[in-house]
A and B are shown apart, each in its own frame.
Chain A
Amino acid sequence: MTNTVSPEKQAFYQKLGEIAGAKNVRTGEKATTPYMIDGFTPQAIVFPTSTEQVASIIKAANESRKTLIPWGGGSKQQIGPCLEAVDTVVCLKNMNRVVELEAGNFTVQVQAGMVNGELQKQLAKTNLSFPLEPFYAESSTIGGEIATNASGPGRIMYGATRDLILGVTVVTPTGDIIHTGGKTMKNVAGFDLCRMYIGSWGTLGVITEAVLRLFPLPEVSTGLYITFTSPEDAFRLVGQLLNSPLTPTAIELVDSVAGHNVADAIGSSLNDDEVLLIVNSEGTKGDVARHRKDIVSLAEANKAKSTLTLEDEKASHAWKTYRGVHKAMLGADSSTLQGKASVPISKLGDMFQQLKKISDSHGVQTGMTAHCGNGILYTYLTDKPEKLVNITGVLKNAAAGLGGFFLVESAPLSIRKEVAVLPPRNDYQLMRRLKTEFDPKKILNPGRLVGGSF
């Protein structure tokens, strides 16, 4: 890739400097290489400090027909269909303030570049929490989490991103600033554009601010770490738990390949084919005690090999280790493909077994974690690209056979270019019309999500 910059292009970068201040525009290989994405090295990185600056940048890009890549913490930039072009990265990390905390309303308004982990620290001071904890919460930004519809284990109790975001301020692909939603719990004024922006991957606008729903920090919380020699027993327990009036805040499962760090952290171990089920509960002392009691007896009834109850620091250490599994699995080998299966909740055990069988028969090493209350399973497959391309086809069919889908999240570029990362649907055409209507010049994240050609 050459870095010769034409005078016309130069004018655009100069304009960026006028908008955001010269010190907030970086060009040159050293500055831009860390932002390399899908094989493209951007020409410039701009760090706006306000919604108005973002609007001016997008207007300028429309005039010069430059493609912009919105950027938060960057943790999910390698996911999904490949970008078609990259010119300038718009990084929101300098828009990282709390705009307004309304504790009495249990809402906070933040700028989109605020890092989730940082926000939690600030909220904890007033005994509040924002119960969204995706894989990279320590480094991912609120705006990025909203744009990618990121969520974590707590969704079983608190809902997914779409249930926790009350409103977003967005700059559209043509540079208009719009406000969607608000700060009330209920709001049906006009179309629900807020929900449209959640999970739109920066293709319909750049999210610059958001109003989040907060919850009080629980009085107590506890984690149960239950080991099973047979996954079937674990999934039976899950079915019984979900059919009960109990309201755990996480029901996570990890297999022996992905879970050895977690087993270490709780001073235990996982033999081949064993699985670890983690059930968190939080609330008042009485509620948590009841959960513990009932879940322990469910574990016994389902032939658990061992059950460990963790509280306080031990619980948070183990939980942190579990939350690090994703990073550890992806970091261990750059050729790893991370896929996601979503199936009807009662079919999760079947999906787990089929994944194991298929990866065994293909001789591909596989690790797995699952959000058991939501029918979602993450798998980490490590092997040569050809073999991974092959196996994704088989996995797609398996998930479809169970009434769900399998998609490729992150994978080496060569694989993402070769396989159809998204499952078939009959509403993509409408989605693409939406993209074209909002972004006629293909300025924002062209190719990402449904913006590409297929």
Chain B
Amino acid sequence: MIAQNFIKDLTKIVGKENILADLKDLIAYSYDATMRQEMPDVIVFPHSTEHISAIMKLAHQGKIPVVPRGAGTNLSGGTIPLKGGIIIEISRMDRILEINTANRRAVVEPGVVNLDLQNALAPLGYFYPPDPASQKSSTMGGNIGENAGGPMCLRYGVTSKYVCGMEIVLADGEVINIGDYVEDFPGYDLRGLFIGSEGMLGMATKLTLHIIPKPEASQTMLAIFDRLEDTSQAVSDIIGAGIVPGAIELLDQKMCQVIEQSVSAGYPTDAAGMLLIEVAGLADTIEKQVQEISQFCQKNKVRELRIAQTNAERDALWKGRRGAFGSVARICPPYIVCDGTVPRNKLPEALHKVGEIAEKYKVLIVNVAHAGDGNLHPLILFDATNPEEHKAAKKASEDILDTCIAMGGTISGEHGIGLEKIDAMHSMFDPADIAAMRKVKHVFDPNDIFNPGKMFPPETEVPRPVKERTAQR
């Protein structure tokens, strides 16, 4: 618990209208999509880099934990203030400072919402490719903290590819610039290191982003299958042929049913699996891409192929996908979302194994996947009042991650480690790997002020002798 006069000092910096410390507010900021909950002591809403720097100087003096927070849509416990302290909420730093299409750059404050940036770019014929499903509310600062992905990352790559430079505030309040507006800056890629660091290395206060022209033409396809195996094999075949659509999303039958209950997306509810495919390219050649993709779907016994004819139809199809997690939460709020990722050609095998795991633990798993990237999102549903079921769900999620590792994959494709996957870190990494990460943490934040207790398993814990190590090991 931090002292009252500390809150007074914070008030001097940001003004009382930018501070929350009532119990109801502290509760509102105590959780995310994971099942954990811890209370902060205070929430501050800075308006500038100077505010954040001053707050950090105070926190540094008092060695008080600080958790940076965007919209709080994170899925792995990233914003949960495990050790209390200050939450710095960036939503009031939401200005777009520059859009320069000739330089292919946008400069924004971290509180800018992803979709707001997209909406500002669209009239200019440009876009910022990373499009997490949460883009309606998630902030650019948060996207960078977690190295967010999204459906279109199949063709264009994830957040890390599109961040050129950042102004950041370090744990002692010092303000520095990492990366650059221009390319090939000299020295270590601290920018690369910072992206996806889950709020543990510092706080980004200004972001220089890479933007690109929108594709000339795009089409949204829906492919409906009677067997899940065929659905995933079609993905493997398309990717294996070297075709790179904008996005290929896979949804299984239960997922479609759940989505249709809350959003009328136009998904089939009686099919074992469906693919939502966005094709992007030049107007002259997009038809050929659509045909090639159709052929691979037909080869895998597709029941029905649909192409969205109107913008409304297309928007509905995508709205369903983007609302997937929300739809599940409506029917069953407690669920575990896995984020395991496998090599692209291993998707069919991985989905098959997820099915086996569901049977083994007798849990309900619904599947949605960024299929083209091999990024699975099995959602394991359970009854929170039934401890046995909760335990089974946890076991199943561990099994899924171990399965992904054994297939040469990873425990997280885009959601991060946070609190949720700390236990899996030892399955994925050797002690020396984690020691190297700790060194980075120590250089940036020697007093462990930023988001303490995340990502690293306790040092005393003995690594599980898991894993059929992949060839890289």
Contacts and interface: CB of A to CB of B under 8 A. Distances in A.
Given A177-B432, A425-B185, A437-B442, A167 B417 contact: no
Could you say which of A183, A188, A428 has the most chain B C-beta atoms within 10 Å of its C-beta?
A: A188
Nearest to A345: B103
B345 A102 contact: yes
B159 to A, nearest CB: 9
A286 B442 contact: no
Contact of A188 (B103, B161, B413): B413
A407 B285 CA distance: 42
B171 to A, nearest CB: 11
B473 A179 contact: yes
Contacts of A160: 183-184
Given A183-B343, A184-B341, A346 B100 contact: yes
Nearest to B170: A430
Contacts of A17: none
A403 B186 contact: no
Interface residues of B, number: 92
Given A346-B103, A426-B176, A434-B443, A405 B285 contact: no
Interface in A340-359: 340, 342-347
B161 A375 contact: no
Contact of A169 (B170, B183, B437, B472): B472
A187 B410 contact: yes
A92 interface: no
Interface string A173-186: 00011111011111
Given A162-B192, A184-B341, A215-B242, A425 B177 contact: yes
B249 interface: no
Interface string B200-212: 0100000000000
Contacts of B439: 437-438
A324 interface: no
B181 interface: yes
A133 interface: no
Interface residues of A, number: 81
Interface string B428-447: 11101111110111111000
Contacts of B345: 102, 104-105
Contacts of B429: 179, 189-190
Contacts of B149: 186
Given A425-B186, A425-B187, A430-B444, A182 B285 contact: no
B312 interface: no
A172 interface: yes
Interface string B153-172: 11001101100000000100
A345 B210 CA distance: 11
A289 to B, nearest CB: 8
A430 B188 CA distance: 10
Given A195-B160, A375-B183, A188 B416 contact: yes
Interface of B: 100-105, 125, 146-147, 149, 153-154, 157-158, 160-161, 170, 176-178, 180-190, 192-193, 195-197, 201, 213-216, 236, 239-240, 242, 281-282, 284-285, 288, 341-346, 370, 373-375, 408-417, 421, 425, 428-430, 432-437, 439-444, 455, 470-473
18 contacts: A105-B343, A109-B471, A172-B436, A182-B408, A186-B373, A186-B410, A191-B437, A193-B433, A196-B193, A245-B216, A342-B182, A345-B104, A404-B181, A404-B182, A425-B177, A430-B178, A431-B190, A437-B440
